[in-house]
Structure 1
Amino acid sequence: MSGDALSGKLHRRHFVRLSGTAGAAGLLGLMGAGSALADGGEPAPPTPGEPGASPCPTPSALCGYPSDTGGRYDLWDRVQVCEGTKPGPPFPQCLRTTATYVVLNGGSGSNHDFLLVPSCRVSGIECPFVATPAAPNYWLEAWLNAQPGQPGHVLYPHVGLGVNSADPTIRQQDQLHVHLAGIHSGIQTQLNNHDSAITNNPSRWRTQIVPIWGLTNTGAPAPRSYRVLHVANLNENLFTLLRDSVVRPTGSTMAAQMLAVTPRLVGNGGFYVVNSEPGLSVPPGQPGGTGTVDFLLAYA
């Protein structure tokens, strides 16, 4: 992950912070409400569950080995220290430890930069385990942990969740992690503007390609193309949805995909699920795809 650096260890790219208007649509969509915006404050979100331990993937070159340590596996080392299964000094980044995941501070030191990391050894989006029924719903847990009163509460007008592709020039740590961050208000506005062209039918997701101007690591705007889908809630495993609706039908690979989630603030609420990959087949005149979420998310 570019910018998934750990505090004091890896460098986080800094992005320009854009202003926006707060809304509760994402949470309302999760809870099945029919209104996109709340009158006044947000309702109290559900508390993240404490699910029992789930099976872990079979150790492999694709999913990783529990013995992996150091370097690109430093994040996995920290998870094990948080769990108490690996010796080491306690880390202040261990904000929540459950049977299936750990919530950590991100690397920017801001109040809108957190990570949700599996307690199993899971390399990243390329590990087939993440799309199986045995896998926890990491996206729903990330959303719940980003809410007020939770250890990963994202203090930003709107929440953005994201996972990078496996490209080693993009992802710095080979342990799956969901970014809990802000999303630039300009991104939210563009999604709202494209809303009428965005489908809620997963079978059409792979063809719903829209151009969005995001931010480079210098803060300069740059266009990329993304597949976008509406979902009413985060109850379904988005990795499975991506595999079955986009990756397999297009003959692509999970390793090439980035995936992001942000509340939908128009219509009847819910969420936008945003996907892209390098080499994305786009309409004439549109910009190419990308394997990184860093054009969308605000960390610092």
Structure 2
Amino acid sequence: MGDNRATGNIHRRQFVRLSGAVGATGLWGLAGGGAALADGGPAPGPPAPDPGGPGGSACPTPSQLCGYPSDTGGRYDLWDRVQVCEGTKPGPPFPQCLATTPTYVILNGGSGSNHDFLLVPSCRISGIECPFIATSSAPNYWLDAWNNAQPGQPGHVVYPHIGLGVNSADPTIRQQDQLHIHLAGIHSGIQTQLNNHDSAITNDPARWRTQIVPVWGLTSTGAPAPRSYRVLHVANLNTNLFTLLRDSVVRPTGASMAAQILAVTPRLVGNGGFYVLNSEPGLPVPPGQPGGTGTVDFLLAYA
């Protein structure tokens, strides 16, 4: 499963909505009504300008790990589209370009639904493996994604609850090597499970790596997909989640940043805020729990 839905001219696997699958399998009760939106706080200002960056903001030094601005075509189609949106690469206009800012563009995700959008950086950034995204020079792409998914915004996600997500660098999962955050729905039932686990979910980043809970998601065929996730709840998205992941999970465990996934969804109980879910294929899970995963596609509803 992967990101082949990322652009309009790349075929994508269609995901069925979990609400139908829940009715068929009886796995979960449905989550409650509308999301209680937490206050994400004001968006931070853009980083200091870098005349060499495509979006006029600080960008990583070109490298094999983060990518090169000259990359084009195939797995870099999203990067081509960003440059066309920004006018730095010739090309015909296309309807997927919904908004352009100095640090990112908002694109349609390619499914044709009203809950499938992408936030793609204006910098050449391969994906979660690029160290730049966890530095203080990087924009807070997660807060930008959340703000753009709200009503009246170009990536407004029309779904009972919002899910944001980034896949690992595994080439069998991620089929576009340009960082992109999915702005999508989160399958109904995921919220119910997180609510049920809430008392075991920490708000202490130092304990995040040990707070592992099973969550039943959904495959592209509609089959149940139980996987285990590290789950943290945060009050808002003012902190760069890539930095939080690097410092709280990746470095302490000696894991690879490239193997990680991140997903975000509102916390609907207690004092609100957000759940941040992280997993990886080699996740060390408690006895009897399902293994980890390198994809957010078991959590997010696109089509």
Provide the TM-score with structure 2 as the length reference.
Answer: 0.91
What RMSD, in angstroms, separates the aligned Cα atoms of the two structures?
A: 1.5
Q: CA deviation at 1:16?
A: 2.3
Kindly provide the amino acid, as one letter, of the partner of residue 8 in structure 2: S
Kindly provide the amino acid, as one letter, of the partner of residue 244 in structure 2: L
Conserved in 2, the CA contact under 8 Å of 1:230 and 1:271? yes
SS at match of 2:38: helix
- Percent of aligned positions that are identical: 81
2:238 aligned with 1:228, yes or no?
A: no
1:226-271 per-residue CA deviation (whole Å, 9 max, x = no partner) reads 0000000000000000000000000001100000000000000000
Structure 2: where are the runs of 5+ without partners? 20-29, 48-55
2:250 aligned with 1:239, yes or no?
A: no
Corresponding residue of 2:122: 119
State the distance in 1 between where 2:5 and 2:247 align. 27
1:158-169 equivalent positions in 2, closer than 5 A? 158-169=161-172
State the distance in 1 between where 2:125 and 2:116 align. 21
Corresponding residue of 2:11: 10
SS at match of 1:185: coil
State the distance in 2 between where 1:248 and 1:257 align. 12
Corresponding residue of 2:108: 105
Q: CA deviation at 1:50?
A: 7.3
Conserved in 2, the CA contact under 8 Å of 1:229 and 1:272? yes
Q: CA deviation at 1:277?
A: 0.1
State the distance in 2 between where 1:279 and 1:58 align. 30
SS at match of 2:144: helix
2:218 aligned with 1:208, yes or no?
A: no
Conserved in 1, the CA contact under 8 Å of 2:38 and 2:266? no
Kindly provide the amino acid, as one letter, of the partner of residue 265 in structure 2: T
SS at match of 1:205: helix
SS at match of 1:200: coil
Conserved in 2, the CA contact under 8 Å of 1:160 and 1:297? yes
Corresponding residue of 1:39: none
How many residues align? The count is 284
SS at match of 2:95: coil
Conserved in 2, the CA contact under 8 Å of 1:62 and 1:126? yes
Q: CA deviation at 1:3?
A: 4.2
Conserved in 2, the CA contact under 8 Å of 1:5 and 1:12? no
State the distance in 2 between where 1:254 and 1:88 align. 34
State the distance in 1 between where 2:4 and 2:299 align. 12
2:294 aligned with 1:299, yes or no?
A: no
132, 142, 164: which one pairs with 2:135? Answer: 132
15, 22, 44: which one pairs with 2:33? Answer: 22
Kindly provide the amino acid, as one letter, of the partner of residue 2 in structure 1: D
Conserved in 2, the CA contact under 8 Å of 1:152 and 1:180? yes
State the distance in 2 between where 1:252 and 1:229 align. 18
Structure 1: where are the runs of 5+ without partners? 32-45
Corresponding residue of 1:51: 46
